[in-house]
Amino acid sequence: MNKNINCIDHKYDLRLYNKLPYFLDQVLIGLCLGDLHIGKSGSVNSNTRFSLTMAGKYTNLAIYIYCLFNHFINPKGFRYSKVKSGLNSKLFSRIQLISVALPIFNYYHNLFYNNIEGKYVKIVPLNIENLLSDISLAFLIMSDGNYNKVKKVIRLCTNNFTKSEVELLSKAIYKKFGIVNRIEKVRKEQYILVIKTSEVVKLQNLVKSHIHYSMLYRIGL
């Protein structure tokens, strides 16, 4: 980890808690809907850790998330590396955040993963409407959203979920926040959510206070 990273320390050791505080709970739910992975450290009964990988250009966001969860991520869990996307590609920088394995994360693994034929598959929880807040939606956008300058829409890249799961999330966003959105097929059996132009300002006003300054462009600001 970069030694220049300084986080404001939490007043108490959050590892001793049985449940994450509300804000961190909502951050993790939003990231789970995005690129964050939660996995068992060993057997089915073992504790759980989370990992998040992002391109080096998102260093500011990575530091912000690290500081939010600094009680759960050891210094060696903030990792810079140079990797290739293919045999002939150039090296690009990558950041990984990897937490320690703790009982407090088992809840999120059980919530977002189903064991299908011995393999854990990420899902959209059936009660996602109850789980969603402006905070979790903001972190989903920072993790897996983008703003199309030409069409003036915000897209949520939900490609990794099934069509029925994307429909479930779509309905939850509408019912919870009144934000009209549509499902768009991008390739075979892959679907994203699109926030229509007329709803963008409503979404901006809902989430902008929780969007890191370096990621405001993802909501068109």
**Among 76-80, 88-92, 148-152, which stretch is predicted with the lowest mean pLDDT?**
88-92
CATH of the structural domain 14-122, one choice from 3.90.1150.10, 3.90.580.10, 3.10.28.10, 2.30.130.60? 3.10.28.10
Kindly indicate whether the domain formed by 128-219 is annotated with CATH number 3.10.28.10: yes
The strand pair at 113-116 and 37-40 is best described as unpaired
Higher pLDDT, 5 or 153: 153
Q: Which of the four pLDDT bands, split at 50, 70 and 90, describes residue 118?
A: confident
- Confidence category of residue 119, pLDDT binned at 50, 70, 90: confident
Q: Which residue has the tokens 């505080």?
A: 21
Report pLDDT digits (tens) over 14-73: 666 778 999 999 999 999 999 999 998 666 678 899 999 998 899 999 999 999 998 898
The ranges of the chain annotated as CATH 3.10.28.10 are 14-122, 128-219
What gap in Å lies between CA 136 and CA 162, rounded to an integer?
A: 20
Q: Is the pLDDT of residue 3 over 50?
A: no
pTM above 0.75, yes or no: yes
CA dihedral sign, ordered 96, 169, 105, 141:
positive
